[in-house]
């Protein structure tokens, strides 16, 4: 990924993380299934780490991980704050 695209990814990620809704997706979400399988779900912090380690070679890889975070959060009940927050952040992300 070229430097300009990487910077754009950083800006998008940081805006989401420090915004009022970032708390909901900053760390991995845990549910009963993931607790039993010890499988950690991806979070905004994981994506930040991947950007630092230059693990994304294309913008699409970054975007796919972001969408994966949203999909995990949207599995929460629609009345939950995590779900509502994920919906708002996802809409903002897709407009970027």
- Phi-psi region for residue 19, left (φ > 0), alpha (ψ -120 to 50) or beta? beta
CATH class name, domain 3-95:
mainly alpha
pLDDT digits (tens, 9 = 90+) for 19-71: 888 888 998 887 655 443 445 689 999 999 999 999 999 999 999 999 999 99
pTM of this prediction?
A: 0.85
Model pLDDT, residue 40 = 64
Residue ranges per domain, the chain?
A: 3-95
Q: How far apart are CA 33 and CA 39, in angstroms?
A: 9
Query: Does residue 88 register a pLDDT over 80?
Result: yes
């Amino acid at each position: 990924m070229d430097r300009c695209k990487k910077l754009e990814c950083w800006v998008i990620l940081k805006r989401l993380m420090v915004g009022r809704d970032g708390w909901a997706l900053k760390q991995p979400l845990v549910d009963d299934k993931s607790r039993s399988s010890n499988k950690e779900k991806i979070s905004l912090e994981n994506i930040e780490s991947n950007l630092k380690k230059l693990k994304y070679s294309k913008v699409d890889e970054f975007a796919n991980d972001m969408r994966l975070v949203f999909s995990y959060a949207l599995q929460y009940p629609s009345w939950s704050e995590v779900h509502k927050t994920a919906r708002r952040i996802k809409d903002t992300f897709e407009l970027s």
